[in-house]
Structure 1
Amino acid sequence: MCVSMDLAEFSGTTLYAGRCRHRRHGLIEVLGYQNTPVNRADGPNAMLLAADATLIPAALTRVPERRRPDLDPALMEFYAAFYPGHTIAVCCFDGADAHRAKPLLMWYEPADPDRLVVPAVDCHTGGPPRLDEPVTTDHWVIFGGDGLPRGRGNPVGYPRKMRGKLRECLPDRVIGRRFDDAAALNGDFAITLDDLREENLDGIHRPPPADTAR
């Protein structure tokens, strides 16, 4: 999700979620994230991707001071309240020039048996997100994995030199759509596995965090 710890701009966000049967770990869900960040704060900044939000302050002590942002306690309270039990990744940056960040990819055990969810709550002020206010979106939202039947969706090509351990977590085919709205609902993106199998892009919806965390 595009939530920063201070003033920032994000553009060109790409979100991916899919499930696959891993030969060692069994059924896993894979989350991918990439965007172009610009720091508008006077000092270092960070982006949160929704373990425990209360552990973030201690974890940040391991970040070099020049890249360590200040924390708003209200933001940590937001995550603790709306995303209990979720692991949170904090990406620290201090550049004022736009550049395409390297993608993040992580896997975990599926939390919902019937749908895929990608974190997408927005707030670029450093404070907690306002879920009652519209947000601007510049997102590609992509779903795939074993839930997409053979022959459905769009084929994906990969570099020949890609590591095998990485490739086995990535999909052969995907579906997705662009969300480019000036005043969109603030929330995550989700799709049921039934809609994924049917390539029903209209089934992509934005549940509020309280629904995502159930």
Structure 2
Amino acid sequence: RRISAISVAERVSEELCDRRVGDSIGYHIRMESKQTRGRTKLLFCTTGVVLRRLQDDPNLEGITHILVDEVHERQWQIDFLLIALRKLISTTRQDLKVVLMSATLDSKLFCSFFQNAPFLSVPGRTFPVSNYYLEDLMDATDHIIEEGSRYAIRTDRNQSNTASLWVTTRGGEKRREVVSFESQTGPVDVSDEYSGYKMSTRRSMDRVDEKVLNYDLIEDVMKLL
């Protein structure tokens, strides 16, 4: 929330063509504050800072509106702040405007908590989303991963292995010996997992190292778009 308060203040200040953060748009987080007394009109704060302000100034003098975002998270600090604000606007600060915001708000719960407060819903729009997987991108771009590529799984066809064994002689004496052996890995058949794709794609998917970010594939996809 500290990072959010700073970044949103910077963005709003930029959108309003403000000279700098801390002039008309500011922020206040723990151990850091950028605001100008008498000039700052909008101040982005963390919940803890607002609670501290309530402790020092129970009537929140000089404040006309309080916007509380992400109230659906129901953190103890947010719940405690809402309790304090409800008490404040029902007693000494009936002129104070409190706005609660959330994308997944239980409106009935919060409206009843604030004595049937009005509710405003802003409908959003949804857009169609298509899922594309690695094999789809390789197939569409004709991207090929060759053996030995930096994007391929590292395999050594002639691996030298050693093992440490205890050997017992005819006389009953035991000694440790290190033996070595070699394993020859033959060609690997193409799996049937990607049977609906091109043969080049199927071979590439058998070789690809999914832990390595393939910048060449990203470039091919950007060209395709």
TM-score by length of 1: 0.23
For the pair shown, which has the larger CA radius of gyration, 1 or 2? 2
In the superposition, the TM-score normalised over structure 2's length comes to 0.22
More helix by share: 2
Query: Which one scores higher on RCO, CA 8 angstroms, separation ≥ 6?
Result: 1
